[in-house]
Amino acid sequence: MQNNSFKQFWAERGTLVVVFGLLLILSGVGWLTMGREPFVRTALSGLTLGALYFMVAAGLTLIFGLMDVLNFAHGTMFMVGAYMGWQFFTNPTFLFGLAPLILALLTGLLTGTPLRPTVMAWSVPERWQKPLRTALAVVALVVGVVALNGLDFIGLADTALVATMVAANPLAEATPQEPLARFWLRPALLLVAGLLLAVAQAGPGDKTQMVHRSTARRGWIVVAVLAVLTVVAVFVREAAPIAVLHMNADWRFVLALLTGTLIGAGLGAVVELTLIRPLYVRPFYQVLVTLGLAYVLRELIMLFWKPLAYQMSRPPLFSQPGKAANLLAWFSGHNTTVDILGVTFPSYRLFIIVLGVVMLIALGILMNYSRLGMIIRAGVQDREMVEALGINVRRVFTIVFVLGAGLAALGGIGAAPFIPVQPAMGDAFQLQGFITVVIGGMGSYSGAAIGALLLGLARAFGDYLALKFQLSPAIAEASTVIIMAIVLLLRPAGLMGKKE
Amino acid sequence: MPEPQDDYILTVDTIHTFIGQFHILEGVSLKVRRGSITVLLGRNGAGKTTTLKSILGLTPPRQGQILFDGQELQGRRAFDIANLGIGYVPEHRAIFRNLSVMENLRLAERKKGDLNRKADLIFGLFPDLKRLYKLPGNHLSGGQQQMLAVARALVADNRLLLIDEPSEGLAPVLIEQMMTAIRQLSATTTVLLVEQNFIMASQLGQAYYIIDDGKTVHEGAMAELLQDQALIHRYLGATIGRQGA
């Protein structure tokens, strides 16, 4: 029996033990050959990278494992998160200026669900149904264009750039917000456009569809909440940015993290519901759609903020001059750097490591102790059976996509204060994210954690070696692919992947 | 329930189901009487499993009508159909290997506390599961997995159970136990059973349907079928042959 339980333990955790054993041995070798200072510095850099890789890879692996969707727009979520967080932190005029418009359009669109039973019951002769839908969509498009006509997007987007230059009073230099008397028409028209689209989507007179009455009531509640938010957004449009800029910068940073994450998650929801969901019958198209979306969003970002790189400043919590003698001293001093084992290390990067670990733990709790996590773990193995138990798997898909997008966006905004904010910033992370997923095993979040740790360390130590031996920095980039190749040779399903 | 208490809980009317381009079901019809055990018989590949999956909406039929307790099932998604009160025990068990026995059962809850309410019933039928409660699904033997698969269909309040080949790969002792369990179940719920093991099928079933090449070709009471050796031989020859071995 003793022997048997050991065998079982080995079968389940053997890979983990080997990986961590190897890491420990390599650390020992590194410490002895590199010396303490460079070793600790490089290891900490590796952990920072690993934390970011994890936040990208966790979503990728769950989305692929559960939904079989290769999301090539995941790095874009990282990038969008970084841009939105940076905007919010530097000058949120852009976000508050657009919020009423987006909320108004969403309110209109979401009336589709509760309106469906009514719209379907309209008596429209069958041969007029299709032309009517097309006509509604065209009118909606025209109304939408009229609504946005003349809106100074670029001026709004530029506010953050101006703010960087005029630090004293960022809003004094650029207030491209229109007066309310003129502005209110835009959200109103967008609401109409959304409504028209919703009616077209619901299919007037089309009685062949199924309706669930229970969803109609919940639908109206969602619409009502959004409508209220829209009205609030219309009125706080000008005051809110100023209020945000006057608040404590540390709190503003926390809010920026939240905002970036929420926008990323919201974008994820829109993408899943409008682009991914209709294409489950054509998986290959889903890949193309995510790829196309990545390009579209990147071009859009470039349109607003030009193909330039920006640097988001660190919150004051991590930017007081000087060096904290140890972690405890940092808590009172909020210094830029901290002394860790005799190594001077940027305190903000430690924050990223902590953020990554917190997310890992949160995800671990979610996956292991919640019903949602149970459904996800079961769904990775057998979606059909989960559905047969009476669980709406499609809804779980949406939740997972939203979670993944939000986590990637959080990674992006977390990274913004120490890597340049630019349109291609997500690409490298997406690539490393995919490699992480392959190493860890598709669908396993713990695999993603181990893979991210390995890749982050490999990258950091690769960089160190390349510098020391005057090699091309490409060595460091290659190291991650080499690790992937080795893992795939030994464990084709990935470290934590299930053997099939 | 606003619907009149119909004799039949499930009515399947000439359904046609395609999987990819393959026309698997070419007109299957059957009726399941409330509180009975109805058996679907037929050779391998005749379309028995697809019939169950079509009822549940996992492979939605393109034509035909399915009524469950007076409600039309066409156009509904599988989860929605299951929530009307249909439990499914698929062939090859399909238990979740990386979930514990408890989690497998919890997953089947539709309301909070379902499992607690049904615990006595489930552990009464399958006492072994109590001992295995904390183990992950992949540590279970084939027989234990089958018990878990049936138990999972019992957690929620299901008025109809679709059970696909419960005897597959089981030792004779376990088949016996499984039969006892299914017979006990039929006291409180209705069962539509697909079974290759003719002895088991004939002992459990009250009514039978024979499916051949995607069509229902015969139906009746099990007692009559047992008299008709020619019919058994014609459609189920392979099955009985295997039984003799």
* Count, residues in chain B: 245
Residue B35: alpha-carbon gap to chain centroid: 14
Distance CA(A391)–CA(B96), nearest Å, equals: 14
Contacts of A388 in chain B (CB under 8 A): 56, 58, 78-79, 82, 88, 90
Range of the domain at B63: 8-85+159-244
Task: Return the residue of B nearest to A385 by Cα.
Answer: B94
Q: Do B97 and A381 touch (CB under 8 A)?
A: yes
Nearest to A389 among B75, B82, B98 (CB): B82
Q: How far apart are CA B122 and CA B106, in angstroms?
A: 13
> Residue B197's domain is classified under what CATH number?
3.40.50.300
Residues of B with Cβ-Cβ distance to A393 under 8 angstroms: 79
Count A/B contacts: CB-CB distance under 8 Å: 69
Does any domain span residue B102? no
Single-letter amino acid code for the residue at A262:
L
Interatomic CA distance for residues A54 and A454, integer angstroms: 10
Q: Which of B58, B80, B107 sits opposite A384 (nearest CB)?
A: B58
Instruction: With CB atoms and an 8 Å threshold, state whether A374 touches B76.
Output: no
Q: Please state the rounded mean pLDDT for residues A76-96.
A: 91
Task: Write out the H or E segment, with its range, that includes residue B210.
Answer: strand B207-212
The verdict on residue B113 lying in a domain is no
First to last CA, chain A: 27
What is the model's pLDDT at position A211? 60
Closest-CA residue of chain A to B52: A388
Report the chain A residue with the minimal C-alpha distance to residue B53: A388
CA-nearest residue of chain B to A368?
B99
Here the contacts of A20-23 (C-beta below 8 Å, separation 24 or greater) are A23/A453, A23/A454, A23/A457
Give pLDDT, residue A323: 83
Residue B222 lies in a domain: yes
Query: Around Cβ A260, how many Cβ atoms within 10 Å?
Result: 31
- Structure tokens that stand for A86 in this block: 């940076």
Considering only residues A27 and A407, tell me which one the structure prediction assigns the higher pLDDT: A407
pLDDT at A448 over 60: yes
* DSSP secondary structure code for residue A159 in this structure: H
Q: Which residue of B has its CA nearest to A375?
A: B107
For chain A, how are helix, strand and coil distributed in percent, rounded to 5? 80, 5, 20
Which of helix, strand or coil describes residue B38?
A: strand
Distance CA A261, CA A271 (A): 15
- Please judge whether A394 and B77 are an interchain contact, meaning their C-beta atoms are less than 8 angstroms apart: yes
Note whether residue B140 is domain-resident: no
Q: How far is B153 from chain A (nearest CA, A)?
A: 8
Residues A441, A494: contact at Cβ < 8 Å? yes
Q: Which residues contact A204 (CB under 8 A, 6 or more apart)?
A: A119, A120, A122, A124, A129, A132, A133, A136
CA dihedral of residues B114, B115, B117, B121 (deg, nearest 10):
130
DSSP class per residue in B108-150: T-SSTTHHHHHHHHHHHH-THHHHTTTSBGGGS-HHHHHHHHH
In a domain, B106, yes or no: no
Q: Given this model, what pLDDT does residue A3 score?
A: 57
Q: Does A199 score more than 60 pLDDT?
A: yes
Handedness of CA A71, A72, A73, A75 (dihedral sign): positive
The whole-number pLDDT of residue A242 equals 83
The pLDDT profile of chain B, 245 residues, written as one tens digit per residue, is 444 556 888 888 888 888 888 888 888 888 888 888 898 888 888 888 989 999 999 988 888 889 898 888 888 889 989 999 899 999 887 889 889 889 999 998 888 888 888 888 888 888 888 888 888 888 888 888 888 998 898 888 889 999 998 888 888 888 888 888 888 888 888 999 898 888 888 888 888 898 888 888 888 888 788 777 777 777 776 444 444 33
Please give the residue of chain A at the shortest CA–CA distance from B149: A385
Closest residue in B to A371 (Cα) is B107
Q: What pLDDT score was predicted for residue B76? A: 86
Angstroms from B78 CA to nearest CA on chain A: 6
In chain A, the residue whose alpha carbon lies closest to the alpha carbon of B83 is: A390
The nearest CA of chain A is from the CA of B155 a distance in Å of 10
Q: Give the mean pLDDT of A270-282.
A: 88
- pTM of the model as a whole: 0.88
Higher-confidence residue of B27 and A72: namely: A72
Q: Helix A93-110 and helix A153-165: axis angle, to 10°? A: 150
Write the CA distances from A391 to A386, A394, A395, B107, B111, integer angstroms. 6, 9, 9, 9, 12
Residue A447 scores a pLDDT above 50: yes
- Residue B40 pairs in a beta bridge with B194, B209
Distance separating the N- and C-terminal Cα atoms of chain B: 49
Determine the Cα–Cα distance for residues A477 and A376; give it in Å rounded to an integer: 33
Cβ distance of B106 and A385 shorter than 8 Å:
no
Per-residue exposure over A7-21, b if at least 16 CB sit within 10 Å of its own CB, e if not: eeeeeeeebeeebee
- Residue B141 domain-assigned? no
A392 token code pair: 């709406």
* Residue bearing tokens 């917000």: A177
Q: Compute the half-sphere exposure of residue A46: CA atoms within 13 Å on the CB side of its CA.
A: 27
Question: CA B20 to CA B75: how far, in whole Å?
Answer: 18
Q: For residue A101, what are its two tokens? A: 């418009």
Predicted confidence (pLDDT) at residue A175 exceeds the cutoff of 70: no
State whether B96 and A389 contact (CB < 8 Å).
no
Contact B78 A387 (CB under 8 A): yes
Handedness of CA A252, A258, A260, A266 (dihedral sign): negative
Q: So what's the pLDDT on residue B244? A: 39
- Residue A166 pLDDT > 80, yes or no? no
Q: Using a CB-CB distance cutoff of 8 angstroms, which residues of chain B are in contact with residue A277?
A: none
Query: CA of B211, closest CA in chain A: separation in Å?
Result: 23
Closest-CA distance, B113 to chain A, in angstroms, reads: 13
Residue in A214, A372, A382, A385 to test binding to B, most B beta-carbons within 10 Å: A385
Region A29-47: mean pLDDT is 88
Interface contact A374-B152, CB threshold 8 A: no
Q: How many domains does chain B have?
A: 1
- B116: which 2 tokens? 């607690």
What confidence tens digit (pLDDT) does each residue in A363-394 have?
Answer: 999 999 999 999 999 988 888 999 999 999 98
Closest chain B C-alpha to A444 CA, distance in angstroms:
11
CA torsion sign for A358, A359, A365, A368 is negative
Say how many CA atoms lie within 13 Å of A105 toward its Cβ: 14
Contact B206, B20 (CB under 8 A): no
Complex ipTM, two decimals? 0.88
* Cβ–Cβ below 8 Å for B75 and A389: no
CB contacts of A375 in chain B (<8 Å) are 107
The verdict on a CB contact (< 8 Å) between B110 and A390 is yes
Give the helix ranges, DSSP H, for A149-282: 153-165, 170-173, 180-183, 185-202, 213-236, 239-246, 249-271
Q: Is B34 within a domain?
A: yes
B107 falls within a domain: no
**Are the beta carbons of B56 and A388 separated by less than 8 Å?**
yes
- Specify the range with the lowest mean pLDDT, choosing from A197-206, A228-237, A383-392, A431-440: A197-206
pLDDT value of position A245: 84
Q: Which of B73, B98, B140 to mutate to test the interface with A (most CBs of A within 10 A)?
A: B98
Contact (CB<8Å) B82/A377: no
